[in-house]
Amino acid sequence: MSKSTLYQYGTLALLVPGLFKGTKSIGSLLSHGDTGIGTGDGLDGELVVLDGQPYQIDGSGNVNKLSEDFMVPFADVHFADYKDLFELKDFINPQKLEEAVLSKLNYNNIFFSFRLHGNFDKIVTRSVDKQTEPYPKLVECADKQNEFYGENKVGTLIGYYAPQIFNGPAVGGFHLHFLADDLSIGGHVLDFKVNNGMVKVQPFNNLEQVFPTDSNEFMQHDFSKDDVNGAISKAE
């Protein structure tokens, strides 16, 4: 597998109506990348893969190492080969960081990965408890999410940028997760403040988009009634 390929299993859109059942194992996912983000079976937490090790930040905020048979409905992975973009010197929040990254690159129209390891003065994340069938819709889960707050946490921001025309298949714009080095906090990123660390990026020529064709629920679902764009902007 090429280091210029992003492997996406499932689509963000399939989470919108609640197709949360895990249909691919972490073990088979790792053959397509050593770095990434995702969610678990039943929307069971937020996932981070770093250096080939998959972690789950569960709905209570605990960070768990995942076994190879853990199942996922949606994930993005790739083989890490980042390039340094710039060293942070001033305090920066998510919006300013995203603007700074895009302004220094011409990557608006392609997928790329983003990684930053540093000491975060403030980090705010969220995760969701595992849902049971019949699954609720994604926006209903977002209403019940748990938020976690950390100060002076050394850790890694990791995630992806997708071009706006791929909002639906993916999250248009940035989609970032966090994991503290000491595994004390992590999850889907809501806010942060950081003033140190090297911002790294990895652009992709290729998106390998994989569909869960063995899932009858996915194959038979009528997506025409789902407000995918609205749900993504609310929940992600």
Query: What number of other Cβ atoms are within 10 A of residue 1's Cβ?
Result: 13
Whether the CA torsion 210, 202, 31, 27 is positive or negative: it is: negative
Q: How far is the CB of 2 from a copy of itself (least distance, A)?
A: 11
Q: Residue 11 interacts with a copy of itself (CB under 8 A)?
A: yes
Nearer to a copy of itself, 30 or 223 (CB): 223
Beta bridge partners, 189, equal 125
Q: Which two tokens stand for residue 84?
A: 């340094």
Question: Which one of 114-122, 140-148, 184-192, 216-224 is the stretch in contact with a copy of itself (CB under 8 A)?
Answer: 216-224
Nearer to a copy of itself, 91 or 219 (CB): 219
Q: How far is the CB of 47 from a copy of itself (least distance, A)?
A: 21
Instruction: Kindly calculate the radius of gyration of the chain based on its CA atoms and give it in whole angstroms.
Output: 17
Segment holding 174, helix H or strand E: strand 173-180
Which residue among 120, 161, 166, 192 contacts a copy of itself (CB under 8 A)?
166
Q: Residue 132 interacts with a copy of itself (CB under 8 A)?
A: no
Which residue among 142, 146, 221, 236 contacts a copy of itself (CB under 8 A)?
221
Give residues with Cβ within 8 angstroms of 153, minimum separation 6: 119, 120, 123, 180, 184, 185
Q: Are the C-beta atoms of 194 and 134 separated by less than 8 Å?
A: no
Q: Residue 103 interacts with a copy of itself (CB under 8 A)?
A: no
Mark out the alpha helices in 168-227 (DSSP H runs).
216-220
* Subset of 52-91 contacting a copy of itself (CB under 8 A): none
Nearer to a copy of itself, 64 or 107 (CB): 107
Question: Which one of 123-131, 133-141, 158-166, 194-202 is the stretch in contact with a copy of itself (CB under 8 A)?
Answer: 158-166
Cis peptide preceding 169, ω within 30 of 0:
no
Residue count, binding to a copy of itself (CB under 8 A) = 33
DSSP string, 89-108: -S-B-HHHHHHHHHHT---T
Chain positions contacting a copy of itself, by CB under 8 A: 11, 13, 106-111, 163-166, 168-169, 203-211, 213, 216, 218-224, 228
